[in-house]
Amino acid sequence: MKIIIAGAGQIGVSLAKYLRAENNDIVLIDKDKDNLGNLSEQLDIQTVEGSSAYPAILEKAGADHADIFLAVTGSDETNIVACSVARSVFNIQKRIARISSTEYLSQRYKSFLQSQEINAVLSPEIETANRIIQTLSVSGSVDMINLGEGLVKLIGLKCKKSATILGHKIDEIQRMGSENDVRILAVKRRHTLIDLNDAVIRLGDEIYFVVPTEKSEHILNLFGYDVALPKYMLILGGGKVGFQLAKALETDTVTHEVTLIEQKEERAHFLAEKLQNTLVINGDGLDETLVDELNFGTYKIAIATTQADESNILLSLLAKRNGIERTCALIHNPLYTELLTGLGIDTTIDPNAVLVSSILQHIRKGRVKNDYFIQSGIGEVLEIEALATSKITKHPLGKIKIPKGIVIGGIIRRNLFLTPDKDLIVQDKDVVILFVERGKVHEAEKLFTVGFSFF
């Protein structure tokens, strides 16, 4: 599979690294030679210097033979034109564009983007705001997303001192939660995945599991976490993500009391005009006087959404020190995430990882119903519909050789969630939930049918 990626920023490089691990032919384009650096040797990919909006540059990148074009530069206009050229000149069948401007994303201009023949338009800010809202119900969750149209939850948590699972093996934990159909998919310790067969849970381990939504609260208590949807929220930073988050909370079915602090006066006036039920304050979230005036301790959660990781860290720590129970910070640099453990920041969201997840979901095809990229980059969680001809339907699961790096998390059959066991036979039209370790997607592909492609 040949994939051209326009833009060698953090998102473009993350996509190139991840998709190359699946043995795809990757070409990365950027007009800045410094951005490309020695990525060609590091990632074993081809790099092309130049503007991806120019037909000659796309031709040099091999667009005549490309299957997928991903336009993720920092310029909306470049991404739009590049997708149009990719389709009209080179007939690349799948084209995805990163678009950030609210002008382009307005419903009024939807037809314009459609006229440019872009298959999917993804906004990093909207996708990130939606991900923040998904994680709000559980303090400290590393990852959380609904699967099976809300029937099941995928949850990632750091193991705390209060967890009753400390010192237990995976099979013991699953027996503890057997009445609630919990299934552990992966355990990450520091930077690596550990073998589920021998794993003994330690403090600080990241545990990823699936559980039916109606039974998730009991399991979360077992892991030492409480479930409570916060009402009083403080958004620190009124940039694009903060704005989209406030907008989403205003339209949420649950009533929220939201205050947004924005340092720039002109931006604060813009936010006050656009937001109907959000209190907008022009000020600095690090100003102790403002902190005292607002009485930070009355808020349940503070979400730092500025563009600077360092500011988000300081804002979150200040919020915690002033009595706010829960904090969430946008962190673009994954190195910070590891260093922040135990400092008082409950949840971190990586906008780059969120967008990578959304892009992967759009480029997978066939019977893939959902594709979730785990923020830490250890792998993906897929929902795949089985066929009567699939290899996975031929025998009970206990007799099917599941490749290393792949864990079956459960089966959804006619709105029922079934935990996998050795005697369970996957049926036609069952949706199988899989954790797939990084670089193992094509191994998972073989379980479903010969020649079936996720792309």
DSSP codes, 200-262: B--TT-EEEEEEEGGGHHHHHHHTT--B---SEEEEE--SHHHHHHHHHHHHSSS--EEEEEE
pLDDT at position 105: 82
CA distances to 79, 298, 413, 422, 444 from 392, rounded to whole Å, are 40, 53, 15, 12, 10
Q: How many CB atoms lie within 10 A of CB 346?
A: 21
Spell out the CATH class of 360-445.
alpha beta
Identity of the amino acid at 412: I
Main-chain phi, psi angles of 423, to 5 degrees: -95, -10
Longest dimension (CA), the chain: 68
pLDDT at position 451: 47
Tokens describing residue 311 = 């500011």
Spell out the CATH class of 232-331+339-353.
alpha beta
Instruction: Sort 266 into a burial class: Cβ within 10 Å, 0-12 / 13-18 / 19+.
Output: exposed
Give the pTM: 0.83
* Rounded distance between C-alpha atoms, residue 329 and residue 320, angstroms: 12
Signed CA dihedral, 184, 189, 440, 25: sign only:
positive
Angle between helices 124-135 and 240-251 (to 10 degrees): 50
CA distances to 115, 188, 215, 220, 343 from 164, rounded to whole Å, are 55, 18, 17, 11, 22
pLDDT at position 363: 83
pLDDT at position 330: 94
Identity of the amino acid at 358: S
Tell me which CATH code domain 130-222 carries.
Answer: 3.30.70.1450
Q: Domain coordinates of the chain in residue numbers?
A: 2-122, 130-222, 232-331+339-353, 360-445
* Rounded distance between C-alpha atoms, residue 319 and residue 321, angstroms: 5
Strands 183-189 and 206-212: antiparallel
Q: How many CB atoms lie within 10 A of CB 133?
A: 17
Spell out a b/e string for 202-226, using b for 16 or more CB atoms within 10 Å of the CB, else e: eeebbbbbbbbeebbbebbebbbbe
Q: Do domains 2-122 and 360-445 have the same CATH topology?
A: no
User: Which element (helix H / strand E) includes 427?
Assistant: none
Listing DSSP states for 290-324 in one string gives HHHHHTGGG-SEEEE--S-HHHHHHHHHHHHHTT-
pLDDT at position 128: 93
- Mean pLDDT for back-to-back runs of 10 residues, the chain (455 residues): 94 91 92 93 95 96 95 95 94 93 80 82 91 78 83 87 81 70 87 83 87 83 72 92 93 81 95 93 92 89 94 93 90 76 78 88 77 83 88 90 91 90 91 90 78 52
Tell me which CATH code domain 2-122 carries.
Answer: 3.40.50.720
